[in-house]
Amino acid sequence: MERTDDAGARFGQASLHHDFVDGLACFHRDDLEGALVFFRTADTGAAAGDVYQNRYTSFHGLCRVCLGDRSGITLCRKAAVGETHDAEVFYNLALAEHRLGRRESAWTGLRRGLMIDPAHSGLQRLGDEFGLRRKTSLIPGLQRNNPLNRLLGRLFRGARKPRPK
């Protein structure tokens, strides 16, 4: 699990809920039952407008999934809806989806997180683990959506795949 030490720098000077910090300590020690209690308290007890609310909810959901409660994925998805700044929320979503065997949903969470923070080490590691390929242009300097690049891509892709009869 990635550390959240730099969170204050990204969200101004807002501080993390003390129960969430305690939950992270338990989580990193693999004390999931203890972490769940703290994460639930932070999630339900956060002040209205808390910039970390989605992070609290995503960890609450991830912890529930790790403990075998499949309904925790609902919390992870709820946290990801509308999230635009915190890649950690999408990292947790991807981990939870992957743990439940939902590969396509895990990839979606992974990609959305990388759009927010391409340097997030956890998301990068997860992408390598999933085998996420980097989509690059066939011709350097041309954008991937350039008509010439797309035509060449279709030709090369067609040469590799047998045609259905």
Band the pLDDT of 134: cuts 50, 70, 90. Answer: low
State yes or no: pLDDT of 131 exceeds 50.
yes
**Which residue reads 């954008």 in tokens?**
143
Mean pLDDT of the chain: 85
Task: Write b or e for each residue in 124-156: b if 16 or more Cβ atoms lie within 10 A of its Cβ, otherwise e.
Answer: bebbeeeeeeeeeeeeeeeeeeeeebeeeeeee
State yes or no: pLDDT of 113 exceeds 90.
yes
Residues in contact with 96: Cβ distance below 8 Å, sequence separation at least 6, in sequence order: 61, 62, 65, 72, 73, 76
Kindly report, residue by residue over 19-45, the tens digit of the pLDDT: 999 999 999 999 999 999 999 999 999
Residue pair 106/97 in contact (Cβ under 8 Å)? The answer is yes
pLDDT given for residue 133 in this prediction: 60
Structural domains in the chain, CATH included, are: 7-134 (1.25.40.10), 138-165 (no CATH)
The amino acid that residue 49 corresponds to is G
CA distance 151 to 128: 28
Across 109-125, average pLDDT: 94
Band the pLDDT of 156: cuts 50, 70, 90. Answer: confident
